[in-house]
Every structure is written in C-alpha cells, then in structure tokens.
C-alpha cells in the first residue's frame, strides 16, 4: 500500500536556511499539492553572520530564478574569486585558494603534474602564476566569464560576498510570492504522534500549526531535531577546535578586493569579507587558548578602521547532527551541524540539503530507504568538507602558540592522512565520490602551506624539458595578460550592480 502524499510542510525558522528552503520548495513544486508554512520568531532572531560563499551558490540562485545583478544590488554584494590565507603555513606566508583552475591542458594528465615536474627541473614560477583568479585578486580585478574561445577569461569561476540578512529578506519576498505562508511566533511546545512523528508545533501566541513534514531551520538550538527528537550530535571539536567567534563590521575597503581573507592568529583566525557598503570581520577562536575579551581586542586592533557596531560573541560546537533526517523532521542549516566558516561552506550545505530533499521528497510515511539515502548523502558531504577544513590546521608548520602546536600534532581522520600521503609520495590528488572540493582546492592548500612533493606522473617525462618550460611560459603569459585586461572589481560593480 502506498503512503499518502504530503499535504502540509512546516518550516520552523526564517534565517538563511528557512527562506532558502521555502523559496526552493515553493518554486520547484508548481503547481503544488501541499501547503508550505514558515514560522519564525522575531524575538529569537537570526544568527546574523554568513557572508561568503563558494561558486555552487550560482546554481542555487539560478534554480530559483534570481537575476544576478538584482541579487547583488539588494544584498550589498560583491564578487569573490577565492580566499587568501595569511600566516597559515608559517608566519608571514600567504597564498590564495582560487576558484577555477590552474593552467590548462598541456597533455594527457592534469596540469599540476607538468608543473611539479618543471619545478623539479628548476622552473622558478609558483603555481599561483597559473591561476587567473589569483592574478586577478592580486590586482582587485573582476569580470564574469567572457565568451572568447580558448581564453582563460571564458572559464572564470566566482562566488559572492553578501549580507545574508538581506538575502533572507529578498528570498522571503520571492517565497511569499510563490504562496508560502509566514507566521510570526516562538515555538514553545511540540506534539508527536504515537510513532514519534511530529504532529504540531505550538507557538507562544497560542497558534497551533500541524504538518506532515517538518523542516527544522531553527539554527544551533535544533528546536525540533534535537530538543524534541533527541537525535544526537557528533562533536568534531577534537579536529576543529575553534568554538566561538567575535564579529563586527568596519568601513568598506577601497579598492574593493574580490576575495575573502582568512588570517591565522594565535588561537584561531580572523576573516575579512568585503561588501559594497562595509567589511565583515570576525575572529574565530578556541576559548581554551584565548578569552573572548582578548579575542575581541585582537580583532579590533586588526581592523582597517573603527568597528561600526558593538562586537558580537557567538559560540558553537563543530560537528554534525547524527541524522539530518529523523522521522518526519529534516534539519537544514545550522540545526544540521556546523563546520566553522573557514571555506564558506555553510550556505552551500543548506543548498545541498535542499537539493537532496527535492530529489528524495517523501510521502507521509517518510520511508526508511528514502531517509537513509538522504542521511548518507549529507553525512558524506559533511565528512568530506570536514577533512578539507582540518587539512588547513594540520598542515601548519607553526609552533608559536599552544593552539597551533595542538593543531600541528593532533590526530586527524585516516581519510585525510591518505590524501596527504598520496600527494606527498606520488604527487596525485583525486576527487573521490563527487566531493565538493576537488584537485585545485587540495593542491592550493597543500602547496600553499608547504606540503610539497617531488613526485609526479612520469607520463609527463615524454615532453622535453625546454618544450615544457616554453609551454608553461606561454600559459603564464596568457593568464597574466588576461588578468591585466579585466576591469577593476569596483568598476565592474558600479557598471552592473551597484547597491542604491
């Protein structure tokens, strides 16, 4: 016997996660046979941080039909070509983890094998010289992909910095336009059926909202998935020890950088996110090694200007909900876990959960194979991203503070050790199981922080040394000239998407 179809979806929470889910479900299922109600609490509010993204966000915006220029204008957004990491390998070091790629096709194996062989043969130029995103970032340039055959300009990969609060507001307008009903109020009680499925949420103002499927977007507290269903949490703070952040905005940067900066500090790291009207800043730290007061002082001292608002303290535990989907409740956003914002992956994880929910949209019984598949897919994403984040801490040569000594010497997952050893011993990197971060990302961080290799795929030895050097110089020249020809990031924004 088939289970009846879902009639009422209830989204608890109206932060970025709640409104992204609301707009995606309401836009995707048209005509729709189920209602969507979103409950949000003005009294509790949203987390109010989350400004940097990765290129996958373009797919989400496209799927919900956002006009990109309009979206940038409305969110005070800017463009992002990568992340600059300062002081991570050693004090004084810096490298950019670029979006897009390194080099171009030289022969049958990936570009970095040719570069690694050339380096061994004495070729002097760094990998960064082969990434258009790096060259453009260094000159504060930006353009969207330009339709020129065989040009690196046709392959530019980018993401955005934006004000996540304004983004949620914009998405709310769209979702309400697609028929989502919004209810204001704080959930203070939840009732369940005999099988444990959630039946109703009760609000402080007396309203009762019943549903067949509940999406928990209530942030860290996990009002439904944890406080009601006691699903459990895998704490990963032994791998990712930072557990708090102090944040504050400061004046806008001129010229406007098209990249995020992450600067390693004594007990964590500080972000700098350039928006059109201001700069987002935050010191992500571990409170075992520094007090919140000292972290705040350090962050403020490191600003380019005065803070524009009273610094805010946010506490968190890195890890993930044991099951993102439990019974008829699906956790999306911070209620499903948090891996810290080092590679700007949280908003992406929201998108990924929504995409999987659409693929696996259930009937009322939320049958086990469907739920298991969703949970397995989300678990794999969390684990893969976790390993990549842990890499940044593990591959440090810093020993100048207790925090960095811990990170350098900590035990890390075998999956990560295997990746590091494979690169060191054989010069190879693989993107397994469709993981989010591919060869370019792993290469950028490993090389950028001093995990180098002498190995490469010996197929590249087919090419004579001078021929290889000539080819690399040719590619390097094309990339350098392409960057020079790009407009200034600020000029590009002024032309297409300046906020009012």
Catalytic positions are 80
Residue 189, exposed/middle/buried by CB under 10 A (0-12, 13-18, 19+)?
exposed
Whole-number Cα distances in Å, 375 to 140, 319, 327, 367: 41, 15, 12, 13
Bridge partners (DSSP) of residue 307 are 250
Q: Which of 187, 262, 299, 390 binds ligand FAD (CB under 6 A)?
A: 187
Q: Is the CB of 14 or the CB of 77 nearer to ligand FAD?
A: 14
Residue 50 annotated as part of some ligand binding site = no
Q: Does 245 bind ligand FAD (CB under 6 A)?
A: yes
Residue 16 annotated as part of some ligand binding site = yes
Which segment (38-46, 121-129, 395-403, 437-445) binds ligand FAD by CB under 6 A? 38-46
Cα separation, 46 vs 333, whole angstroms: 12
Residue 192, exposed/middle/buried by CB under 10 A (0-12, 13-18, 19+)?
middle
Q: Which of 10, 26, 40, 482 binds ligand FAD (CB under 6 A)?
A: 40
> Are 270 and 281 within 8 A, CB to CB?
yes
| Shortest CB 352 distance to ligand FAD, Å | 12
Residue 84 annotated as part of some ligand binding site = no
First CA to last CA distance, the chain: 56
> Are 315 and 244 within 8 A, CB to CB?
yes
Cα separation, 253 vs 304, whole angstroms: 8
Q: Which string of DSSP letters, residue by residue, matches 385-432?
A: HHHHHHHHHHS----SSHHHHHHHHS---HHHHHHHHHHHHH------
Which segment (77-85, 122-130, 293-301, 334-342) binds ligand FAD by CB under 6 A? 334-342
Q: Which of 110, 241, 258, 282 binds ligand FAD (CB under 6 A)?
A: 282
| Shortest CB 8 distance to ligand FAD, Å | 17
3-state secondary structure of 189: strand
Angle, alpha carbons 205-206-208 (nearest 5°): 120
> Are 378 and 352 within 8 A, CB to CB?
yes
| Shortest CB 306 distance to ligand FAD, Å | 21
Whole-number Cα distances in Å, 384 to 95, 106, 285, 413, 442: 22, 29, 22, 11, 12
- Tokens 């972290």, residue? 295
Quick note: the x/- pattern for ligand FAD over 346-385, rule CB under 6 A, is: xx--------------------------------------
Q: Which of 10, 11, 39, 171 binds ligand FAD (CB under 6 A)?
A: 39
Residue 80 annotated as part of some ligand binding site = yes
- Tokens 């990109």, residue? 68
> Are 459 and 117 within 8 A, CB to CB?
no
Q: Does 268 bind ligand FAD (CB under 6 A)?
A: no
Which segment (111-119, 292-300, 317-325, 332-340) binds ligand FAD by CB under 6 A? 332-340
* 414 token code pair: 């075998």
Computed over its alpha carbons, how large is the radius of gyration of the chain?
23
| Shortest CB 200 distance to ligand FAD, Å | 13
Quick note: the x/- pattern for ligand FAD over 47-66, rule CB under 6 A, is: x-xxxxx-------------
| Shortest CB 164 distance to ligand FAD, Å | 5
Which segment (8-16, 392-400, 425-433, 468-476) binds ligand FAD by CB under 6 A? 8-16
Residue 55 CB neighbours (<10 A): 16
Closest among 44, 40, 52 to 340, alpha carbons compared: 52
Q: Does 219 bind ligand FAD (CB under 6 A)?
A: yes
Q: Does 334 bind ligand FAD (CB under 6 A)?
A: yes
Residues in the chain: 500
Cα separation, 195 vs 410, whole angstroms: 43
Residue 15 annotated as part of some ligand binding site = yes
Q: Which of 4, 5, 7, 45 binds ligand FAD (CB under 6 A)?
A: 45
Cα separation, 130 vs 482, whole angstroms: 11
Residue 153 annotated as part of some ligand binding site = no
Q: Does 344 bind ligand FAD (CB under 6 A)?
A: yes
- Total number of residues that touch ligand FAD (CB under 6 A): 38
| Shortest CB 190 distance to ligand FAD, Å | 9
**Positions 295 through 324 that interact with ligand FAD (CB under 6 A):** 314, 316
| Shortest CB 218 distance to ligand FAD, Å | 4
| Shortest CB 402 distance to ligand FAD, Å | 22
- As annotated, the binding site for FAD includes 14-17, 334, 347
- As annotated, the binding site for L-tryptophan includes 343
- As annotated, the binding site for 7-chloro-L-tryptophan includes 80
Task: By CB under 6 A, name the binding residues for ligand FAD.
Answer: 12-18, 39-41, 44-47, 49-53, 164, 186-187, 217-219, 221, 223, 245, 282, 314, 316, 333-335, 341, 344, 346-347
């Amino acid at each position: 016997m088939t289970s009846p179809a879902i009639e009422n979806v209830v989204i608890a929470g109206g932060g970025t996660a709640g409104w992204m889910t609301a707009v995606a479900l309401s836009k995707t299922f048209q005509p729709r046979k189920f209602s969507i109600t979103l409950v949000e609490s003005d009294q509790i509010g949203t987390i109010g941080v989350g400004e940097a993204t990765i290129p996958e966000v373009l797919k989400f915006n496209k799927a919900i039909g956002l006009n990109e220029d309009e979206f940038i204008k409305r969110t005070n957004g800017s463009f992002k070509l990568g992340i600059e990491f300062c002081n991570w390998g050693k004090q004084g070091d810096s490298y950019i983890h670029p979006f897009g790629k390194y080099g171009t096709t030289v022969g049958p194996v990936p570009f970095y094998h040719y570069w690694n062989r050339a380096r061994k043969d004495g070729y002097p130029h760094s990998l960064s010289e082969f990434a258009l995103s790096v060259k453009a970032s260094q000159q504060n340039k930006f353009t969207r992909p330009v339709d020129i055959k065989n040009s690196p300009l046709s392959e530019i990969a980018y993401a955005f910095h934006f004000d996540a609060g304004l983004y949620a507001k914009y998405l709310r307008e769209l979702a309400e336009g697609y028929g989502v009903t919004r209810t204001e109020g704080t959930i203070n009680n939840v009732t369940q059926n005999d099988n444990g499925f959630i039946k109703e949420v009760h609000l402080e103002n007396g309203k009762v909202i019943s549903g067949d499927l509940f999406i928990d977007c209530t942030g860290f507290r996990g009002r439904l998935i944890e406080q009601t269903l006691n699903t459990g949490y895998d704490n990963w703070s032994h791998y990712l020890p930072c557990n708090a952040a102090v944040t504050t905005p400061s004046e806008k940067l001129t010229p406007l950088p098209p990249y995020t900066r992450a600067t390693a500090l004594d007990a964590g790291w500080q972000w700098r996110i350039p928006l059109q009207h201001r700069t987002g800043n935050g010191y992500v730290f571990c409170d075992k090694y520094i007090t919140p007061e000292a972290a705040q002082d350090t962050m403020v001292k490191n600003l380019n200007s005065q803070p524009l608002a009273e610094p805010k303290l946010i506490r968190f535990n890195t890890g993930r909900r044991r099951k993102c989907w439990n019974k008829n409740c699906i956790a999306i956003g911070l209620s499903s876990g948090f891996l810290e914002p080092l590679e700007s992956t949280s908003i992406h994880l929201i998108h990924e959960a929504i995409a999987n929910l659409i693929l696996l949209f259930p009937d009322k019984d939320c049958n086990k194979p469907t739920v298991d598949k969703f949970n397995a897919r989300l678990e794999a994403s969390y684990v893969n991203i976790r390993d990549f984040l842990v890499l940044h801490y593990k591959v440090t040569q810093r020993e100048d503070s207790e925090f960095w000594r811990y990170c350098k010497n900590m035990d890390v997952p075998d999956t990560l050790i295997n990746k590091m050893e494979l690169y060191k011993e054989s010069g190879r990197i693989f993107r397994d199981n469709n993981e989010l971060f591919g060869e370019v990302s792993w290469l950028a961080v490993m090389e950028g922080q001093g995990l180098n290799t002498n190995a490469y795929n010996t197929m590249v030895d087919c090419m004579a040394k001078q021929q290889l050097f000539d080819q690399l110089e040719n590619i390097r020249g094309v990339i350098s000239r392409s960057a020079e020809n790009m407009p200034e990031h600020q000029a590009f924004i002024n032309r297409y998407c300046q906020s009012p």
